[in-house]
Amino acid sequence: MSRPNPVILTAVLAVIVLCLGGAAVLKGALYIGKHEGDAMHMVQIVFRMAEGQVPHLDFMTPIGALAFWPVALLVKAGMGVGMAFLWSQVIVAALFLPIVAWVAASRLTPNLALLFGAVVMVLLLALIDGGAETSVSVSMHYNRQAWAAAFVAILAAVIPPVHPRVGQVDGIIIGLMMGVMAMIKVTYFAAFALPVALGLVMTEQRRALVWALATGLVCVGVITLVMGPMVWPAYLGDLRTVAGSEVRAAPGDPLTAVMGAPAYLGGSLVALAGVILLRQARVETGGLILLLLLPGFFYVTYQNYGNDPQWLALLAILLLALRPEPEKVLRNGFGWPLREALGVAAAMALALSVASYANLAYSPLRHLRADVAEYVPLLPRAKRHADLQVLSLRFNRVEARVPLDGPGTGLERYRPQAEREAPPRFMGEDLEECSLEMGLLAVMDAMARDLDAAGLAEGRSALVADMFSSFWLFGAVEPLQGGAPWYYGGLPGWEDADYLLVPRCPRIPQVRDSMIEKIKTRGIPETLTEIRRTPLYILYDKD
């Protein structure tokens, strides 16, 4: 079996980075077409970290610091947040490039090495979370980075190198990739740590396992030194909050649907077929490790919004790499030649993943072609960060959903069967039944400007009874110490808040209502005083 030329492989991957990364940064700004709430979530965390705040200690998030640290460093250095995001992706891809080239060149054929390297580079440089919807978004960029790290660690564990003497290098790489997963999104680490460790044992890469464990311990020590020892219990506390969240424990379909619903059943069957075919081809170790990986593939997909099974591309690469040599003509009970059967299964996995990866690969080019006349700054009062732009339509068009079966509509008799939960009473009144569908940025901007004009913003902070609390990005209000850029549960930051801000038309009414009920349960309303009421919000002073 021929091996790829490492120099040529590295050069080709560098060209991919140059083309996709260049297409992104040459635009001179970041133009997003959807998920502006996710963009504000990212910006909040980046700004806080650039000011020296520590995730989990100074604010609540289940996402690890490494997901935002490269962007925060560039912002701290003076770059606008839009270009900082784009350049951070290029920098991360450049750091991954020699690692990917090393792992692929030492284990795969030339064509497979190129495919694997291209898949990882696309994950790192894309400007969309996946799926088939054509747009540009920064949403869940950390998922793509974590998948890239997982792909490297899994390939290195499942496929032993041609030259076993490189165990030290492989172990350091695997340890680093596991550390990256843990400090980006711990779901990936939890899902793949055991299969990767068992893979190293079963493929007799024990030296690599020792070095991987040692590297992991070094990573823990460095993080503890940089962020402080209390970051670990705080990180675990945030993860526990999310696991028990009534509003965000899982952001998509149920786990059973991710495994067996019509949209995912084909991939699940191909994966199981691959395991069976490997066992029939006497590749017992590879088949067993792949079987151990499947629960992690399903679980991570279940935990990710959109439930995009991006692991299918890796499945195809593993099936092709584990096939028996051409001279070994093996057949199963049906008479199928197993090398060819595994090739068919890999082709099916690639076919199922092509829509998502084509969308990922094309997204930087789509960004390059964006018509800048259709965009406006996401943060209109932050001149330095005008390089983060959003579609004007999504900023300026404000739309809401309200029920039409209220009193006097003639539809009252249908309401008991509507299975709609009535909003809670708070401070002696029923809260409005309304959910904001579009125009979140305009609403945040308007609330911030109103608070500034009323003289209520300077040096003050507020707990917002909604999924997003980003309005401080638009005005003089201070970010809430201990607050959550994205709400998952509890009342994060309540002790340090000066105000309670209740949107009259929240983005997620269930979140508002849940937070209000928690406040009422604590017996807090008696200590609140309404100090301002507008068509957009009600503001209560805690003192």
Pairing of strands 435-438, 399-401: antiparallel
- DSSP run (H or E) holding 15: helix 6-25
Domain that holds residue 293: 6-368
User: 389: which strand partners?
Assistant: 31, 377
**Among candidates 141, 144, 19, 126, which has minimal Cα distance to 71?**
141
Residue 375 within a domain: no
Same domain, 74 and 158: yes
DSSP secondary structure string for all residues of 350-405: HHHHHHHHHHHHHHHHHHHT--GGGEEESSTT-GGGTTEEEEHHHHH--EEE--S-
**Residue 254 and residue 189 share a domain:** yes
Task: Single out the residue of 310, 297, 384, 377 nearest to residue 349, CA to CA.
Answer: 310
Domain presence at residue 378: no
Query: What CA–CA distance (Å, rounded) separates 19 from 115?
Result: 16
Is pTM, for the whole model, over 0.75? Answer: yes
Q: What is the DSSP string of 236-253?
A: HHHHHHHHT-TTTS-SSS
Give me the number of domains the chain comprises: 2
Q: What is the rounded CA–CA span in Å between residue 135 and residue 33?
A: 6
- Look up residue 41 and give its amino acid: H
70: DSSP letter: H
Q: Supply the pLDDT for residue 193.
A: 96
pLDDT over 80 at 327, yes or no: no
Coil, helix or strand for 338?
helix
pLDDT of residue 522: 81
Identify the band that residue 461 occupies on the pLDDT scale cut at 50, 70 and 90.
very high
**Burial of 153 by CB count in 10 Å (0-12 exposed, 13-18 middle, 19+ buried)?**
buried
Question: Is residue 397 assigned to a domain?
Answer: no
Helix (H) / strand (E) element for 279: namely helix 262-280
**Residue 249's pLDDT is what?**
56
Q: How far is CA 316 from the centre of its chain?
A: 23
Q: Quote the tokens at residue 306.
A: 């959109």
Q: How many whole angstroms separate alpha carbon 81 and alpha carbon 285?
A: 46
Percent of the chain with pLDDT over 90: 77
Three-state secondary structure readout of 44-93: HHHHHHHCCCCECCCECCCCCHHHCHHHHHHHHCCCCHHHHHHHHHHHHH
In a shared domain, residues 224 and 341:
yes
Phi-psi category of residue 56: left, alpha or beta, with phi > 0 → left and psi -120 to 50 → alpha: left
Domain presence at residue 125: yes
Give me the pLDDT at residue 191, please: 95
In a shared domain, residues 75 and 149 = yes
Give the model confidence (pLDDT) of 465-516 as tens digits.
999 888 899 999 999 999 999 998 889 999 899 999 999 999 999 999 999 9
Give the C-alpha separation, 209 to 171, whole Å: 6
Task: Indicate if 57 and 136 belong to the same structural domain.
Answer: yes
Give the pair of three-digit tokens for residue 358: 């084509």
Asked if residue 384 belongs to a domain, the reply is no
- Predicted confidence at residue 305, as pLDDT, reads 86
Tell whether 374 is covered by a domain: no
8-state DSSP, 478: P
Give the relative orientation of helices 69-76 and 81-105 as an angle to the nearest 10 degrees.
130
Mean pLDDT of the chain: 92
Decide which of 368, 386, 418 is a domain's last residue.
368
- Residue-wise pLDDT for 270-306, tens only, equals 999 999 999 999 999 999 999 999 999 999 999 888 8
Examine residue 152 and state whether it is found in any structural domain, yes or no. yes
SS3 for 3?
coil
CA distance 259 to 270: 12
Q: How many CB atoms lie within 10 A of CB 409?
A: 11
Q: What is the pLDDT of residue 336?
A: 86
**Residues 202, 331 within the same domain:** yes
List the 499-503 sheet strands across, edge first.
462-464, 499-503, 537-541, 529-533
- Region 508-534 average pLDDT: 88
Model confidence band, residue 533 (pLDDT cutoffs 50, 70, 90): very high
- Provide the 3-class DSSP secondary structure of residue 524: coil
Report yes or no on 142 lying in a domain: yes
Report residue 320's pLDDT band, with 50, 70 and 90 as the boundaries: very high
Is residue 204 domain-shared with residue 274, that is, in the same domain? yes
- Provide the 8-state DSSP code for 487: -
Give, in degrees to the nearest 5, the angle at Cα 149 between 148 and 150. Answer: 90
169 and 97 belong to one structural domain: yes
- Of 387, 404, 315, the C-alpha closest to 351 is 315
Query: Are residue 197 and residue 253 in the same domain, yes or no?
Result: yes
Q: How do residues 39-98 score in pLDDT, each as one tens digit? A: 999 999 999 999 999 999 999 999 999 999 999 999 999 999 999 999 999 999 999 999
- Mind listing the pLDDT tens digit for each residue in 395-438? 999 999 998 888 888 888 888 888 887 788 888 888 988 999 99
Residue 542: what pLDDT?
Answer: 84
Nearest to 137, CA basis, from 30, 41, 43, 251:
30
Q: Which residues contact 498 (CB under 8 A, 6 or more apart)?
A: 460, 461, 462, 541, 542, 543
Q: Both tokens of residue 14?
A: 């560098």
CB atoms within 10 A of CB 235: 22
The tens digit of pLDDT for each residue in 116-162 reads 999 999 999 999 998 888 899 999 999 999 999 999 999 999 999 98
Query: Which of 345, 368, 391 is a domain's end point?
Result: 368
Looking at the structure, do residues 207 and 347 belong to the same domain, yes or no?
A: yes
357, 437: one domain: no
Could you give the CA distance from residue 470 to residue 33 in angstroms, rounded to a whole number?
Answer: 19
Q: Give, rounded to a whole angstrom, the gap between the first and last alpha carbons of the chain.
A: 74
CA distance 241 to 491: 11
291 burial type by CB count under 10 A (0-12 exposed, 13-18 middle, 19+ buried): middle
CA neighbours within 13 Å on the CB side: how many for 391? 18
Backbone torsion region of residue 436, taken as left when φ is above 0, otherwise alpha when ψ lies between -120 and 50, otherwise beta: beta
For residue 464, the surrounding DSSP H or E stretch is strand 462-464
pLDDT beyond 80 at 520? yes
pLDDT at residue 1, as a whole number = 58
Whether 97 and 174 share a structural domain: yes
**What's residue 250's pLDDT?**
63
Among residues 368, 393, 420, the one where a domain terminates is 368
Return the CA Rg of the chain: 25
What is the pLDDT at residue 409?
A: 85
Q: Is 480 left (phi over 0), alpha (psi -120 to 50) or beta?
A: beta
Q: What is the DSSP letter of 30?
A: E
Helix axes 186-202, 141-158, angle to 10 degrees: 10
- In three-state secondary structure terms, 2 is coil
- Judge whether residue 337 has pLDDT over 60: yes
